[in-house]
Amino acid sequence: GAVVSQHPSWVICKSGTSVKIECRSLDFQATTMFWYRQFPKQSLMLMATSNEGSKATYEQGVEKDKFLINHASLTLSTLTVTSAHPEDSSFYICSASPDGGWTYEQYFGPGTRLTVT
């Protein structure tokens, strides 16, 4: 149980275009999901906390107009990288905490590798 999927697993896009990444909790509901960014050989950097039915909470230094987050249901959160540039190339990981309090840890998706050319 407690599986989180991400789609796509990798994507290549041209500079200036937008790309959407989906994060789904497959067997549990999650009011709260998280989006991380990870550069090669570095740790996970929290970008934002996604809350179902409300606006996301962004970490300091993260451009909310560039990284649009929509948490439209209890099993789906999306991250849209708008007007992507090569410096946005990175590995993006989502995670979710199951509702109901039966566990407090986060479950992670497999990640999405974004390359902007």
Q: Can you give the binding site for another protein, defined by CB under 8 A?
A: 32, 34, 38, 41-44, 46, 49, 91, 93, 95, 97, 104-108, 110-111
- The least distance separating another protein from the CB of residue 83, rounded to whole angstroms, comes to 26
Q: Measure CA 45 to chain center.
A: 11
- The least distance separating another protein from the CB of residue 90, rounded to whole angstroms, comes to 12
**Can you tell me the distance from the alpha carbon of 67 to that of 80, in angstroms, rounded to the nearest whole number?**
6
Nearest C-alpha neighbor of 112 from the set 3, 22, 2 = 22
- The least distance separating another protein from the CB of residue 99, rounded to whole angstroms, comes to 11
Nearer to another protein among residue 16 and residue 110 (C-beta): 110
**Can you tell me the distance from the alpha carbon of 105 to that of 2, in angstroms, rounded to the nearest whole number?**
10
Residues in the chain: 117
Nearer to another protein among residue 6 and residue 78 (C-beta): 6
Phi, then psi, of 23 in degrees rounded to 5: -130, 125
DSSP 3-state of 101 = coil
- The least distance separating another protein from the CB of residue 32, rounded to whole angstroms, comes to 6
